[in-house]
């Protein structure tokens, strides 16, 4: 039994965008490993999950890609945020911060919120 959990539904796109925002252009494997690292290795990102999400983000215009060479001299597709992606990540971040603040009210029993 593993202590790692899969990425929660609806959060992977934001994690990818935030990773690219913080790290700059990365290939898919690098994005997946960085998400796992950022989670304190509590999340696992599978190839069957990361690449469809990258394709969807690219089709939506939030990221661009180009081929380059990885650190180990292999051809790899590198992804980077677009201008639309930067705007989208700002809005999504704000939305998630609000949602988690609301949820926190339900997870703190006995506290009065006004």
Domains of the chain, each with CATH number or no CATH:
5-107 (1.10.10.10)
User: For 1-15, how does the pLDDT look when each residue is reduced to its tens digit (9 = 90+)?
Assistant: 456 777 776 799 999
Number of Cβ atoms within 10 Å of the Cβ of 82: 16
- Would you say the C-alpha torsion 43, 46, 48, 50 has a positive or negative sign? positive
In which band, very low, low, confident or very high, does the pLDDT at 114 lie, cut at 50, 70 and 90?
A: low
From CA 114, how far away is CA 109, in angstroms rounded?
Answer: 14
Q: How many residues does the chain have?
A: 114
Which one, of 91, 22, 20, lies nearest residue 57 by Cα?
A: 20
Q: pTM for the full model?
A: 0.85
User: For 21-74, how does the pLDDT look when each residue is reduced to its tens digit (9 = 90+)?
Assistant: 999 999 999 999 999 999 999 999 988 899 999 999 999 999 999 999 988 899
- Is pLDDT at 91 greater than 90 in this prediction? yes
């Amino acid at each position: 039994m593993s202590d790692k959990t899969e990425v929660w539904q609806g959060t992977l796109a934001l994690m990818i965008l935030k990773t690219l925002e913080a790290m700059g252009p990365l290939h898919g494997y690098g994005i997946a490993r960085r998400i796992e690292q950022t989670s304190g290795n509590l999340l696992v990102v599978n190839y069957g999950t990361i690449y469809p999400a990258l394709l969807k983000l690219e089709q939506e215009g939030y990221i661009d890609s180009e081929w380059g060479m990885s650190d180990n001299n292999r051809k790899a597709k590198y992804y980077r945020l677009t201008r639309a992606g930067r705007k989208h990540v700002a809005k999504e971040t704000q939305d998630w911060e609000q949602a988690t603040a609301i949820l926190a009210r339900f997870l703190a029993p006995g506290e009065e919120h006004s």
